[in-house]
């Protein structure tokens, strides 16, 4: 029994799920065979990703950002998502941050990426540190991150809250250390998947972040990040 429990715990760890979920799956397979692993759809909410949307996502992912007039040379995990939302292809988006000192990854899923939601995420990041400690938030030049003549909310908030908003140079977002973390997230949580909805995909990303922060010393994770940083 102890050996079986260790196996369950290990399976749960590598699949980013709970031991109870693993036990349920094992029980179902023992009772009904491998057919129990196939989902049984009984109507309900239709898929959020329509076929035209999937085709458009693939088309944009295979293109180069400069073909769309964007000021960077390559796509990261976040940038195509930002662009797809701006173009109306999909309707939710993620915010993410990587704490270099703590080696922790943070993420929020929102319907849109605008200055209000960006500032909301910045407030969350600010709350993770003592108010007397100055922090720097490194961003690319995507418009919701910017302080402009027409909208100075980002700069005003940063000055009032002991925060520096630092921007990577144009076409150099790869300098941001979070880009390597996105490589690992894509490998562990997204590659080879076909999530039926944005909600399911967001759930997988959240579960990955929880696992990643508890297992920051994982050898596979560290190897992926190291290779991405060296690329």
State yes or no: pLDDT of 156 exceeds 90: yes
The per-residue pLDDT for range 55-76, each reduced to its tens digit, is 777 777 777 777 777 766 676 6
The per-residue pLDDT for range 25-39, each reduced to its tens digit, is 787 778 777 766 665
Q: Are 102 and 137 in contact (CB under 8 A)?
A: no
Who has greater pLDDT, 61 or 82?
A: 61
C-alpha–C-alpha distance, residues 188 and 208, integer Å: 7
- Residue 6: what pLDDT? 55
How far, in Å, are 35, 85, 157, 216 from residue 105 at the CA level?
A: 37, 23, 23, 9
Token pair recorded at residue 23? 């036990």
C-alpha–C-alpha distance, residues 79 and 95, integer Å: 11
- Residue 93: what pLDDT? 58
Q: Which of 29-38, 91-100, 222-231 has the lowest mean pLDDT?
A: 29-38
The per-residue pLDDT for range 101-113, each reduced to its tens digit, is 999 999 887 766 7
C-alpha–C-alpha distance, residues 144 and 142, integer Å: 6
Q: For the chain, give every domain's residue range.
A: 2-37, 51-125+172-231
At 44, is the pLDDT very low, low, confident or very high (cuts 50, 70, 90)? very low
Please give the mean pLDDT across all residues of the chain. 78
State yes or no: pLDDT of 8 exceeds 80: no
- Residue 89: what pLDDT? 59
State yes or no: pLDDT of 91 exceeds 80: no
């Amino acid at each position: 029994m102890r050996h079986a429990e260790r196996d369950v715990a290990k399976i749960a760890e590598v699949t980013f799920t709970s031991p109870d979920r693993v036990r349920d799956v094992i029980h179902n397979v023992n009772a009904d065979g491998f057919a129990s692993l196939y989902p049984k759809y009984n109507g309900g909410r239709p898929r959020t990703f329509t076929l035209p949307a999937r085709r458009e996502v693939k088309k944009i992912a295979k293109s180069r950002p400069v073909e769309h007039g964007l000021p960077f040379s390559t796509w990261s995990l976040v940038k195509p998502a930002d662009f797809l939302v701006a173009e109306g292809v999909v309707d939710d988006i993620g915010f993410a941050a990587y704490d270099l000192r703590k080696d922790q990854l943070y993420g929020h899923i929102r319907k849109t990426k605008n200055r209000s939601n960006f500032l909301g995420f910045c407030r969350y990041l600010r709350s993770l540190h003592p108010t007397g400690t100055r922090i720097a938030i490194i961003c690319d030049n995507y418009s919701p991150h910017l302080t402009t003549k027409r909208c100075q909310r980002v700069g005003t908030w940063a000055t009032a809250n002991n925060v520096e908003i630092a921007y990577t140079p144009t076409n150099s977002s790869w300098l941001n250390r979070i880009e390597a973390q996105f490589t690992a997230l894509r490998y562990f949580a997204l590659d080879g998947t076909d999530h039926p909805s944005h909600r399911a995909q967001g759930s997988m990303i959240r579960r990955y972040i929880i696992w990643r922060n508890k297992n920051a010393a994982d050898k596979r994770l560290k190897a992926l990040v190291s290779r991405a940083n060296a690329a």
